[in-house]
């Protein structure tokens, strides 16, 4: 297993931007996660080698942040907010509906993935869109003012 | 060089400390102990455990004494109600997810949590939720066991492997109440056991010592590791007459607070199977055990008969006093001085931390009392061989003119097997004496356990034999040392008691070594 040449080039550019090699870790991990989908032990080793920092320092950061995945996840990562505003606006019902529809359990910091590896259903804390609660995020996109019908439509329209 | 000092007040007592000293250190020097977990004098100071908070007059918030330097006129309290409450609360937090398995924890009795809880504990826990559980009993390397649940996240082990060994095995994974100490690879660096020493709780324990003895039964003796020319300062813990473990003792000039893994196991040689426990004579190719006095006089007869024609092999494994008393004996016998010291057994190279390629503890001292000629050369014209500790004459048939071989040593070896008289001698842990390390530092070791019945150190044997030649009988190691200090510049102006806990360097030696370095 190897890092992609394009990724290596990007890492080089990042290294110039920061005073210390270790400081590039966050952007580098995001890049690499995009390439591999998740950060396995092997990938962590690759990153450590590329940046010339201890493997432990990479693992510490990867395990600290929930947005770095230590295992493969589905094509669509549904992050359903279950914090205060969304809960007041009925998030629990929506999450139950999602669980039922997809046949998986929602969990934090990383939920279950459907057998066809299309969806992962994770519970997350406030994503800062309380004004349009209840809401969820799918991959990079926010979906606001949700209802059961709206959710069904969104999922059906996904490519 | 005059050092700038500042005056501060700690708990109402005026204290003078060098500028830049940390409050925690200034307090310790003044006899005030401040509770702490993450602070370690030889590691960086992240101030993460918050146990060391103190009240500095004029500062609204409590200050971490492990990372706050003293400042002139500071008025510090470590015992105010505010401080005590803070420490109690920190401890309460630290213990929220702690398994409290003291009854089955091998750290019990020397645990930072137990000790501080005695003084600051809340005793009635307010926490009723289920605890977060973490991985227990992980063998993270040949020498260590990790119980992540007991870890208080002080990060000392992470800093040791980052800063001292630079092997980077340890890391703190996850975050919040799930934060967990983990080894990302096998911990098998040559200094790994120090992790068990610096871990303030029962998270990291040493495989060799786990569940051997409850620590409150242990007695302690200060000593010196005999494993190489470094001469790490150590404490030997013992129980019922047996050494149970060795651990490092602070000496900034020699080993800071560390020792190596191989050194740590050397106590095992005291009771090893090949240990020579009783004197022996060889008659008709067979070895017979005899009483110490019989062996002593047999050897003496040989020494008297061959006196001038004795070839002697000394050893860099014996103490300064041993080497000196041996030299005195040879002088009285009018025999040539001991042959040059043998090379160190191979094993490792010098490394950047402590280990020296020279695996003998006293080459500097012993070479002061030996010659430069090879033992093999000496043997050619000798009729008697006197071999100390070394396996220097495994094949005596090479020297047909040899009428006798005397072996004095701690363990059996081919030379001992071929000797006419074998006299066991006491090991470093069984008597008192001094070694001179590679820096020229003369350091004292003390008796920890009893030698096998009738077995005495070399200096006693040598000095008793030398009486027969009109030599002086030394009554104690201190007396040998006194005589030695007048005879050799390496020990000039030193006294046995003056060596203290940290040893002394003849000024010339330390300086010259440092200049070379
Ligand atoms: S294992 Fe011990 S030394 Fe390491 S962080 Fe935990 S408590 Fe500190
Ligand atoms: S470095 Fe040498 S003296 Fe120190 S513990 Fe290891 S063997 Fe003993
Ligand atoms: S609580 Fe859901 S977005 Fe703020
Ligand atoms: S000892 Fe000062 S914060 Fe840990």
Judgement on whether residues B389 and B472 belong to the same structural domain of the protein: yes
Where does a domain end: B179, B212, B245?
A: B212
Percent of chain B at pLDDT above 90? Answer: 93
Whole-number Å distance between alpha carbons of A91 and A58: 35
Tokens of B142: 């040949």
Contacts of B168 in chain A (CB under 8 A): 54-57
Contact A56 B170 (CB under 8 A): yes
Q: Is the CB of B354 under 6 A from ligand 2?
A: yes
**What average pLDDT does this structure show over A40-64?**
97
**What average pLDDT does this structure show over A73-95?**
97
pLDDT digits (tens, 9 = 90+) for B472-482: 999 999 999 99
Q: Whose atoms come closest to the Cα of B36: which ligand?
A: 4
Using CB distances shorter than 6 Å, the residues near ligand 4 are B 36-39, 47-52, 64, 66
Judgement on whether residues B393 and B363 belong to the same structural domain of the protein: yes
**What average pLDDT does this structure show over A1-5?**
94
- Domain membership flag for residue B248: no
Q: What is the mean pLDDT of chain B?
A: 95
pLDDT exceeds 50 at position B517:
no
Can you give the CATH number for the domain in which B286 is found?
3.40.50.740
Judgement on whether residues B397 and B324 belong to the same structural domain of the protein: yes
Q: Residue B508's pLDDT band (boundaries 50, 70, 90)?
A: low
- Domain membership flag for residue B251: no
Judgement on whether residues B417 and B479 belong to the same structural domain of the protein: yes
Q: How many whole angstroms from B505 Cα to the centroid of ligand 2?
A: 19
Closest Cα in chain A to B163? A54
pLDDT exceeds 50 at position A85:
yes
Judgement on whether residues B288 and B377 belong to the same structural domain of the protein: yes
What are the φ and ψ backbone dihedral angles of B76, each rounded to 5 degrees? -115, 140
Nearest residue to B194 (alpha-carbon basis) of B362, B50, B40? B40
Per-residue pLDDT at A144: 98
**What average pLDDT does this structure show over A39-54?**
97
Pairs of CB atoms within 8 A across A/B: 27
Can you give the CATH number for the domain in which B186 is found?
3.30.70.20
State the CB neighbour count (10 A cutoff) for residue A32. Answer: 23
Nearest residue to B152 (alpha-carbon basis) of B69, B91, B104? B91
- Range(s) of the domain holding residue B9: 5-94
Judgement on whether residues B372 and B387 belong to the same structural domain of the protein: yes
Per-residue pLDDT at B21: 96
Q: What pTM does this model have?
A: 0.92
Closest Cα in chain B to A48? B168
Q: Is the CB of B205 under 6 A from ligand 1?
A: no
What are the φ and ψ backbone dihedral angles of B135, each rounded to 5 degrees? -65, 130
Judgement on whether residues B203 and B297 belong to the same structural domain of the protein: no
Mutation for testing the B interface, residue in A60, A64, A109 having most B CBs under 10 Å: A60
Judgement on whether residues B475 and B395 belong to the same structural domain of the protein: yes
Judgement on whether residues B291 and B327 belong to the same structural domain of the protein: yes
Q: Residue B1's pLDDT band (boundaries 50, 70, 90)?
A: low
pLDDT digits (tens, 9 = 90+) for B72-105: 999 999 999 999 999 999 999 999 999 999 999 9
- C-alpha distance from residue B413 to each of B33, B268, B419, B422 (Å): 50, 17, 10, 11
How far is the alpha carbon of B135 from chain A, nearest alpha carbon, in Å? Answer: 16
Q: How many whole angstroms from B238 Cα to the centroid of ligand 4?
A: 32
Contacts of A54 in chain B (CB under 8 A): 162, 168, 171
Q: Is the CB of A126 under 6 A from ligand 3?
A: yes
**What average pLDDT does this structure show over B148-154?**
97
Where does a domain end: B192, B212, B232?
A: B212
**What average pLDDT does this structure show over B11-16?**
96
pLDDT digits (tens, 9 = 90+) for B355-366: 999 999 999 999
Question: Residues near B204 by Cβ (< 8 Å), separated by ≥ 6?
Answer: B144, B145, B146, B157, B195, B196
Q: Is the CB of A81 under 6 A from ligand 3?
A: yes
The domain segmentation of chain A, as residue ranges, is 5-64, 76-157
Percent of chain B at pLDDT above 70? Answer: 98
- Check CB contact of B171 with chain A, cutoff 8 Å: yes
Q: How many whole angstroms from A31 Cα to the centroid of ligand 3?
A: 27
Can you give the CATH number for the domain in which B37 is found?
3.10.20.740
**What average pLDDT does this structure show over B244-254?**
97
Of A77-81, A139-143, B311-315, B504-508, the least confident: B504-508
Per-residue pLDDT at B2: 65
- Check CB contact of A56 with chain B, cutoff 8 Å: yes
pLDDT digits (tens, 9 = 90+) for B453-469: 999 999 999 999 999 99
ipTM score of complex:
0.88
Q: Whose atoms come closest to the Cα of B183: which ligand?
A: 1
Whole-number Å distance between alpha carbons of B31 and B360: 37
- At the top level of CATH, the class of A5-64 is mainly alpha
Nearest residue to B461 (alpha-carbon basis) of B491, B426, B508? B426
Contacts of A60 in chain B (CB under 8 A): 171-173
Q: Is the CB of B203 under 6 A from ligand 1?
A: yes
Number of domains within chain B: 3
Per-residue pLDDT at B514: 55
Q: Whose atoms come closest to the Cα of B345: which ligand?
A: 2
Q: Is the CB of A86 under 6 A from ligand 3?
A: yes
- C-alpha distance from residue A143 to each of A83, A90, A122, A129, A137 (Å): 15, 15, 15, 10, 6
The number of CA neighbours under 13 Å toward the Cβ of B513 is 14
pLDDT digits (tens, 9 = 90+) for B299-348: 999 999 999 999 999 999 999 999 999 999 999 999 999 999 999 999 89
- Domain membership flag for residue B223: no
- Check CB contact of A21 with chain B, cutoff 8 Å: no
Q: Residue B509's pLDDT band (boundaries 50, 70, 90)?
A: low
Per-residue pLDDT at B294: 97
Question: Residues near A149 by Cβ (< 8 Å), separated by ≥ 6?
Answer: none
- At the top level of CATH, the class of A76-157 is alpha beta
Contact B164, B191 (CB under 8 A): yes
pLDDT digits (tens, 9 = 90+) for B204-241: 999 999 999 999 999 999 999 999 999 999 999 999 99
- Domain membership flag for residue B90: yes
B175: nearest CB among A56, A57, A64: A64
Contact A64 B182 (CB under 8 A): no
């Amino acid at each position: 297993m190897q890092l992609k040449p394009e990724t290596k080039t990007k890492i080089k550019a990042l290294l110039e931007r920061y005073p210390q090699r270790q400081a590039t870790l966050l952007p580098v991990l995001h890049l690499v996660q995009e390439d591999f989908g998740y950060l396995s032990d092997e990938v962590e080793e690759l990153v450590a080698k590329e940046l010339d920092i201890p493997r432990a320092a990479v693992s510490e950061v990867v395990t600290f942040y929930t947005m770095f995945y230590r295992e493969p996840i589905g094509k669509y990562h549904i992050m359903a907010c279950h914090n205060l505003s969304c809960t007041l606006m009925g998030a629990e019902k929506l999450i139950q509906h999602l669980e039922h529809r997809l046949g998986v359990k929602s969990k934090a910091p990383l939920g279950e993935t459907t057998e066809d590896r299309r969806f992962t259903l994770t519970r997350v804390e406030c994503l800062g869109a309380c004004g349009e609660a209840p809401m969820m995020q799918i991959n990079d996109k926010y979906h606001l003012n949700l209802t059961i019908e709206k959710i069904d439509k969104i999922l059906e329209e996904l490519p | 060089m005059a050092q700038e000092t500042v005056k501060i007040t700690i708990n109402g007592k005026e204290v003078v400390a060098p500028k830049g000293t940390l409050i925690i250190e200034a307090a310790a020097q003044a006899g005030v102990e401040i509770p702490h977990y993450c602070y370690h004098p030889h590691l960086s100071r992240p101030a993460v455990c918050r146990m060391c908070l103190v009240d500095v007059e004029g500062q609204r918030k409590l200050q971490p004494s492990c990372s706050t330097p003293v400042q002139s006129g500071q008025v510090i309290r470590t015992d105010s109600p505010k401080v005590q409450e803070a420490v109690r609360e920190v401890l309460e937090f630290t213990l929220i997810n702690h398994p409290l398995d003291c009854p089955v924890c091998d750290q019990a009795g020397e645990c930072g949590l137990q000790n501080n809880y005695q003084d600051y504990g809340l005793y009635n826990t307010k926490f009723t939720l289920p605890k977060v559980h973490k991985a227990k009993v992980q063998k993270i390397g040949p020498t260590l066991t990790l119980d992540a649940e007991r870890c208080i996240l002080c990060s000392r082990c992470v800093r040791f492997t980052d800063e001292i060994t630079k092997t980077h095995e340890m890391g703190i994974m996850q975050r919040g109440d799930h934060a967990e100490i983990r080894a990302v690879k096998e911990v098998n660096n040559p200094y790994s056991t120090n992790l068990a020493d610096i871990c303030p709780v029962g998270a990291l324990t040493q495989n060799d010592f786990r569940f051997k003895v409850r620590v409150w039964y242990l007695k302690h003796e200060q000593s010196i590791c005999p494993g190489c020319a470094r001469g790490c300062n150590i404490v030997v813990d013992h129980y019922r007459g047996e050494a149970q473990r060795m651990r490092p003792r602070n000496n900034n000039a020699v080993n800071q607070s560390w020792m190596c893994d191989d050194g740590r196991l050397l106590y095992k040689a005291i009771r090893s199977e090949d240990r020579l426990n009783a004197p022996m004579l060889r008659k008709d190719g067979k070895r017979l055990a005899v009483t110490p006095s019989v062996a002593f006089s047999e050897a003496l007869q040989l020494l008297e008969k061959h006196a001038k024609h004795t070839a002697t092999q000394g050893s860099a494994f014996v103490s300064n006093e041993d080497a000196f008393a041996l030299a005195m004996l040879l002088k009285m016998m009018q025999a040539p001085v001991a042959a040059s010291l043998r090379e160190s057994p191979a094993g490792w190279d010098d490394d950047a931390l402590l280990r020296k390629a020279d695996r003998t503890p006293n080459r500097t001292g012993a070479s002061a009392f030996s010659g430069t000629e090879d033992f093999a050369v000496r043997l050619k014209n000798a009729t008697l061989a006197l071999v100390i500790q070394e396996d220097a004459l495994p094949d005596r048939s090479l020297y047909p003119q040899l009428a006798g071989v005397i072996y004095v040593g701690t363990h059996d070896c081919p030379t001992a097997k071929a000797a006419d008289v074998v006299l066991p001698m006491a090991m470093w842990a069984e008597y008192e004496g001094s070694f001179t390390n590679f820096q020229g530092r003369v350091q004292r070791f003390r008796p920890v356990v009893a030698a096998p019945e009738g077995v005495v150190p070399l200096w006693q044997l040598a000095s008793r034999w030398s009486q027969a030649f009109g030599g002086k009988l030394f009554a104690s190691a201190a007396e040998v040392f006194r005589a030695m200090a007048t005879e050799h510049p390496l020990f000039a102006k030193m006294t046995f008691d003056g060596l203290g806990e940290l040893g002394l360097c003849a000024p010339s030696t330390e300086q010259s070594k440092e200049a070379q370095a």
